[in-house]
Amino acid sequence: MDFDSKELTLRQAAEIYATQYAKKRKGFDNPADVQRFVASTISMFKDIADEPGSAVALFIPDENDKRARTPLAKLFEDTPADDQPVKKAMQNLRLIGHNVLKAGLKPTDELYQHMPDSAVASDKNERLFGRGEPAKGESLVAINPDKNIQKEFFAKLSAKTANPETRKSALAALFLLNTGVRPEILENLRFDHYNAEKGALYIPGDIGGAKGRPINIPLNPVADAIIQEFMKERIEGGFADSDGPNKIFFKYSKTGNKGPIDLKPKDVTDVLRDIKVGNKENFGLIYDEKTKRHYDTLTPPELASAKSGSRLLRNFHATLGDRLFSIPAERLAYLEGRTLKSVRKNLQTGSLEVYQVTFPFDVNEDDRAFASRFASFTQDASEDLGLDFTRVIDLETASQTRIFGDDPRYSSYFQTPTETAPDIPESLIVVSADDKGLGIDEKTLETLKKKPVAFRNYLDSLDANGVDTSQARAKYAEFIADKSGKVSGKPGPGSGRTGAALTAITAGGVGVGVLTSEDAAAATSEVARDVALDVAGETGLKRIVGRTLAGRIPIADVLLPSANMAGEGVSTPAPGTEPVAATPEEMYRKAEAEADRPLMDPSRGGLPALVGFLKQKTQEAKAEPDDNFLTMSP
């Protein structure tokens, strides 16, 4: 980390989250969004927002307070239960504390224990903030269900498709009205999420707008034709990647660049701005209960910070489905990709959804029929007001020229992006572009240069796993020489298998304190807990190796075994060093002493189970079990 959590001001911490951690670690795209996040975070702490250390200080209990409350608890405990500005501030602080401040603290640091959980509701967070986080505010905007009002709105929106500059945004708005999906879907929907044969979308849970749950959306003729138009134009314009993946929705930049750019919910909101239906006196397009006012537009300035614009189109879909089309609530929720747990529940067995997993593109004809009612309404609304709907979308032509994912001419465009899990080699090699010869990044290399013993052990471990380190040894000879100036040589044949196996075992030893620097020792207790959680399997070892690869435990701080093995399962010390032999119990007790608390879970068998597990791994490596197979540099 390039920051010290203990020194961060609240403003700095908010800026770090907004630029590096928000939106799945991509950061906000718009500088204005960054400023809004920072402003809402510090709004109640302006007097200390720029004081060094103020970010962490908010979460620390006051020793002079009789109830040992944190500054946050003192501020928030008596605030209104449903206060939305309070919710926003609490949410921002929770995200900053968990994602930013924790990242800049060592797990063994006392301050680390005071940082919040990621979950909205937890006992710890309630203690830190002095109350639970307010629930999500309910929208109090009502959609006028009058059929004539709705037809006029649909027709005026459809008319905007005649203008090339607004066509794509208007079609995207019609897509949202016909499907009821969240507007965030527009930015993330890809070719491989669409099945032309099934006439459906399957949107995985990790796609923005799906809210963590995979969903199937049946497409009516209008929604399907809109998707087809975007795909065809992207392919025919030469803007589609022949190897995939490809986004469906896009627009053209106004700067003259013909290339497509992402179409966003804001573009939909913009195309809705000048559509006015109804009146502002007593019969508007929408009615806001909070302000007690009617509005003839979806984008009134008074609702700019509330639910408005593209975000209201889902409300239109729900209102039409319920009031005009009489679609059952359960099926309407399904059409919009909402969870059914609140609308379909058996009191004896609990939510039916717990036992059903979404099968890709699985939609039934009843749901498709419900979805088609929105398409009929869209077409009828335009034609009733004198608009030729074939100029909006020619459904007949669209149905005859559809693109299918299994068509050899187009199949490559529908390819799903492949995500392969990174291999974790037993030698703990991290392949990077910085130094491919050693497979480590520049920072780690600099650390190794200052630690000859660790550097030699690392090279030995690479040799043990079949990596030729002769060039590296020559290049970095001055950094790996022992006290006499001698550079250790490459180990002899026959040692590779034992060395590789013991590397993994020694990595497991990290959990019991096989560390050589203060920085690494600080991570001992956290890693040890991970091992203790699963002493009956390999999960603990895998976690430790993963943490090492991720840089949380520097490779230079893990004592890797020398590859010069004799087969007894004991590392041979590098020349010029006097390693300290220690049993697993001794090393684990050392870790406990450093953490000042027990690290083993008695219910899992405690220390004997851990020792037995490590011995078992030694035996599997065809080495004799030995309580002294772990070593630690002085």
State residue 469's pLDDT score.
75
At 260, is the secondary structure helix, strand, or coil? strand
Give the integer Cα–Cα distance in Å for 101 and 93: 10
Sign, CA torsion 563/566/568/573: negative
- List phi, psi (to 5°) of 322: -80, -50
State residue 196's pLDDT score.
95
pTM of the model: 0.54
Give the integer Cα–Cα distance in Å for 456 and 136: 56
Sign, CA torsion 412/413/415/419: positive
Q: Which of 73-87, 103-117, 431-445 ranks highest by mean pLDDT?
A: 103-117
Q: How far is CA 615 from the centre of its chain?
A: 38
At 60, is the secondary structure helix, strand, or coil? coil
pLDDT, tens digit (0-9, with 9 covering 90-100), for 201-244: 999 887 877 776 789 999 999 999 999 999 999 999 999 998 88
Domain boundaries in the chain?
5-129, 154-403, 442-632
**Minimum mean pLDDT among 152-166, 207-221, 315-329, 538-552: which range?**
538-552
Q: Tell me what the pLDDT averaged over the chain comes to.
A: 74
Give the integer Cα–Cα distance in Å for 359 and 202: 8
Contact 524, 595 (CB under 8 A): yes
Q: Which of 287-301, 413-427, 526-540, 582-596 ranks highest by mean pLDDT?
A: 287-301
Per-residue pLDDT band for 411 (boundaries 50, 70, 90) equals very high
State residue 499's pLDDT score.
27
Of the two residues 21 and 557, the one the predictor is more confident about is 21
Q: How far are the Cα atoms of 165, 292, 537 from residue 607, in angstroms, in the given order?
A: 69, 66, 14
pLDDT, tens digit (0-9, with 9 covering 90-100), for 232-275: 999 999 999 988 899 999 999 877 666 799 999 999 999 999 99
What are the DSSP calls for 293-312, one per residue?
EEESSS--GGGTTSS-GGGG
Q: Which of these, 373, 387, 324, 401, lies nearest to 222 by C-alpha position? A: 373
State residue 278's pLDDT score.
94
Q: Which helix (H) or strand (E) holds 251?
A: strand 250-252
Give the integer Cα–Cα distance in Å for 252 and 238: 13
Enumerate the β-bridge partners of residue 260. Answer: 252
Q: Which of these, 429, 440, 476, lies nearest to 456 by C-alpha position? A: 476
Give the integer Cα–Cα distance in Å for 504 and 605: 22
For 506-593, list the strands marked E by DSSP: 580-581
pLDDT, tens digit (0-9, with 9 covering 90-100), for 419-475: 544 333 333 333 333 344 555 556 667 777 777 777 777 777 666 555 677 777 888
**Minimum mean pLDDT among 124-128, 372-376, 529-533: which range?**
529-533
At 482, is the secondary structure helix, strand, or coil? coil
pLDDT at 325 over 90: yes
State residue 248's pLDDT score.
96
State residue 625's pLDDT score.
35
∠ at Cα 166 (165, 169), nearest 5°?
Answer: 130
pLDDT, tens digit (0-9, with 9 covering 90-100), for 17-53: 999 888 767 788 788 888 889 998 998 898 899 999 9
Q: How many CA atoms lie within 13 A of 354 on its CB side?
A: 6
Of the two residues 408 and 484, the one the predictor is more confident about is 408
Whether omega for the bond prior to residue 625 falls within 30 degrees of 0, making it cis, is no
**Minimum mean pLDDT among 115-119, 452-456, 543-547: which range?**
543-547
**Minimum mean pLDDT among 159-173, 175-189, 519-533: which range?**
519-533
Residues 6+ apart with CB under 8 A from 110: none
Q: Which helix (H) or strand (E) holds 506?
A: helix 496-509
Give the integer Cα–Cα distance in Å for 502 and 618: 7
Output b/e per residue, 377-396; b: 16+ Cβ within 10 A.
bbbebbbeeebebeebbebe
pLDDT, tens digit (0-9, with 9 covering 90-100), for 490-505: 333 322 222 222 222 2
**Portion of the chain with pLDDT greater than 70, in percent:** 65
Give the integer Cα–Cα distance in Å for 362 and 360: 6
Q: First-to-last CA distance in the chain?
A: 28
Q: Which two tokens stand for residue 562?
A: 């020398």
Instruction: Write the class of the CATH domain 154-403.
Output: mainly alpha
* Angular region, 211: left φ>0, alpha ψ -120 to 50, beta rest: left
Of the two residues 544 and 427, the one the predictor is more confident about is 544
Contact 375, 382 (CB under 8 A): no
**Minimum mean pLDDT among 173-177, 340-344, 382-386: which range?**
340-344
pLDDT at 355 over 70: no
State residue 392's pLDDT score.
95
Of the two residues 35 and 526, the one the predictor is more confident about is 35
Q: Which of these, 109, 1, 147, lies nearest to 551 by C-alpha position? A: 1
